[in-house]
Structure 1
Amino acid sequence: MIGLYFLHKLIVSAVLLCNTPAGGYVYQMIYDCEYGDNITDVVFFVKNIFNQKLSTMYDSRVGKYVGFGEYGMKNAAHYNSQAWKMDIRKSQVETLCRYNAILFRRSTLDRKVPPIVKVHQTKQADYGERSMLECSVLGFFPQEVRVSWLRDGVEVTTDVSSTDVLANGDWSFQLHSYLEFTPRRGERVSCRVDHSSLKESLEVDWDTFALDAKYLKMTVGTIFFFIGFTAAAGGAVYYWWKQRFDFSPLGRQGRASPCHLSEL
């Protein structure tokens, strides 16, 4: 039976090749899987298109081919009479559609990759000077993400800019947000990220250690300077006092010697 089917196809192809019009023939077979919100609802179509016209279509909802036009109806009746072909079409609902839907859901719809968030100063500036912070949100999936800035826990809506969500080419995305501001000592500045992979918002603080370390070094240097200055001044006073009032035994002997000479 299968051999007769392929022989029929071969004869039809030969006839078409021998009577090819100037524009040629275009034959297409399209496998189409359509899903609802739940992948258990699957509809499988096999569409045979000849010269951009739908000729026959297998519909898994009715479990058979449907023909369009006289030629299509004859082919549909022929296909439906082939038990082996109908068994293949019924099995393809599972092997072709549902199996690939599960893989697609795992790799896209159900795939969650949390972002890596880094906050840094784009240019060095002291407290009280205009500066800019950059919040880099890296390697997340899916691409829907929300980034906001907080100053002492209050969301900032002005002087904020952002890039578009950029594809990395490895099924992950990145985004960069910027905040122009004038830093104040003791203020907490944070980048907050909301993403479907996170159970709660992720807040990353701007680390002011480098900026604070500069002033810490100046403070420590000043303290050590005054300690050194005080020690040096104390040493100088002590030396002067020792020279002015020499209480050593040798010094006392030197001062007492004129008295001993007068007694003699």
Structure 2
Amino acid sequence: MMGLYLLYKLTVCAVLLCTTPAGGYVYQMIYDCEYGENITDMVFFVKNIFNQELMTMYDSRVGKYVGFGEMGLRNAAHYNSQGWKMLLRKNQVETLCRYNARLFRRSTLDRKVRPIVKVQQTKPAGYGEQSMLECSVLGFFPQEVRVSWLRDGAEVSTDVLSTDVLANGDWTFQLHSYLELTPRRGERVSCRVDHSSLKEGLEVDWDAFELEAKYLKKTMGIISFFIGFTAAAGGAAYYWWKRRFDFSPLSRHEQASPGHLSESPKLHEGREALLSFSQDKDTVKT
């Protein structure tokens, strides 16, 4: 039976090749598997198209070929009479359609890819200055995602802008969200991402290290200035005090030297009294 069917096919091909018109012949066989969310309701079609005209179609819902036109009806009746072909088409609903549908869902629709979240400052600014933060959510699948901003744990609904979900071309997506704010020292700013690949929402804090470093650098500069100013003022005060009350060892030595200072009044009076006593003693002897 298979030999006769193969011979029939070869004969048809030879006839078509020998009687090919100027425009040629186009024969197509299309396998089509259609299903919804539940792959158990699978519908399998085999369409035979000749010169862009549908001739016969196998429909798994009725379990046989349906013909269109005189030639199509004749071919459909012939196909339906072949038990091996009907058994093959019935098995292909499971081996071809459902198998590939499960594989497709596992590799694409049912797969989960965790997002990569980055938070950064787009416009440099210090504390108390208006700035903007960007939350980049990259490489996630499936497409559905929710991004929100938190300030000290409270969700922010104003001054927030977001792009549409963008396709990366590799079955992953990305999204960017922006928050305008005036940073305050000690405040916690976070980007929260909710996605089906995550057991719970993912919160990524904005790292304000650059602002802290800038703030500390400014603070250390001010402290260094005051330390330097205090040291300079203390040195100047000490120099003035030393010049005003010159208590250096050298100065005390110079003050004690007889060549530089006159005798004290008490010492001078003592010498005069001793001289007077000596003169009185000489007079008594005479």
TM-score normalised by L of structure 2: 0.76
What whole-Å deviation, never above 9, does each CA across 1:155-182 have from its counterpart, x for those lacking one? 4444333333222222222222222333
Q: Tell me which moved more, 225-234 or 114-123.
A: 225-234
Q: Which residue of 1 aligns with 2:71?
A: 71
The equivalences for 1:102-113 within 5 A come to 102-113=102-113
SS at match of 1:174: strand
> Whole-Å Cα distance in 1 between the matches of residues 186 and 219 of structure 2?
16
Read off the aligned partner of 2:213 and give its amino acid letter. Answer: A
SS at match of 1:180: strand
> Whole-Å Cα distance in 2 between the matches of residues 251 and 3 of structure 1?
135
* 2:34 equivalent to 1:28: no
CA RMSD of aligned residues (A): 3.2
Q: Structure 2: 5+ residue runs without aligned partners?
A: 268-286
Read off the aligned partner of 1:102 and give its amino acid letter. Answer: R
Percent of residue pairs bearing the same amino acid type = 81
The equivalences for 1:231-250 within 5 A come to 231-238=231-238, 244=245, 246=247
Q: Which residue of 1 aligns with 2:118?
A: 118
Q: Structure 1: 5+ residue runs without aligned partners?
A: none
Q: Which residue of 2 aligns with 1:149?
A: 149
> Whole-Å Cα distance in 1 between the matches of residues 136 and 83 of structure 2?
59
> Whole-Å Cα distance in 1 between the matches of residues 205 and 101 of structure 2?
41
What whole-Å deviation, never above 9, does each CA across 1:198-238 have from its counterpart, x for those lacking one? 22222222222211221211112222332333344445545
> Whole-Å Cα distance in 1 between the matches of residues 94 and 203 of structure 2?
44
> Whole-Å Cα distance in 2 between the matches of residues 35 and 241 of structure 1?
100
SS at match of 2:38: coil
SS at match of 1:54: strand
* 2:90 equivalent to 1:81: no
What whole-Å deviation, never above 9, does each CA across 1:96-117 have from its counterpart, x for those lacking one? 2122112211111111111111
> Whole-Å Cα distance in 2 between the matches of residues 150 and 204 of structure 1?
10
> Whole-Å Cα distance in 2 between the matches of residues 72 and 116 of structure 1?
56
Give the superposition deviation at 1:61. Answer: 3.8
Give the superposition deviation at 1:84. Answer: 3.1
> Whole-Å Cα distance in 2 between the matches of residues 37 and 133 of structure 1?
39
Read off the aligned partner of 1:60 and give its amino acid letter. Answer: S
> Whole-Å Cα distance in 2 between the matches of residues 228 and 242 of structure 1?
21
Q: Tell me which moved more, 91-100 or 237-246.
A: 237-246
* 2:5 equivalent to 1:5: yes
> Whole-Å Cα distance in 1 between the matches of residues 144 and 36 of structure 2?
22
Q: Which residue of 2 aligns with 1:138?
A: 138
SS at match of 2:147: strand
SS at match of 1:190: strand
Greater gyration radius:
2
Read off the aligned partner of 1:205 and give its amino acid letter. Answer: D
> Whole-Å Cα distance in 2 between the matches of residues 157 and 241 of structure 1?
65
> Whole-Å Cα distance in 1 between the matches of residues 126 and 91 of structure 2?
70
What whole-Å deviation, never above 9, does each CA across 1:42-65 have from its counterpart, x for those lacking one? 332212123444322223344433
Q: Which residue of 2 aligns with 1:201?
A: 201
* 2:127 equivalent to 1:127: yes
SS at match of 2:138: strand
> Whole-Å Cα distance in 2 between the matches of residues 129 and 218 of structure 1?
15
Read off the aligned partner of 1:110 and give its amino acid letter. Answer: D
Count of aligned pairs between the two proteins = 263
SS at match of 2:125: coil
The equivalences for 1:45-56 within 5 A come to 45-56=45-56
SS at match of 1:184: coil
SS at match of 2:164: coil
Q: Tell me which moved more, 107-116 or 55-64.
A: 55-64
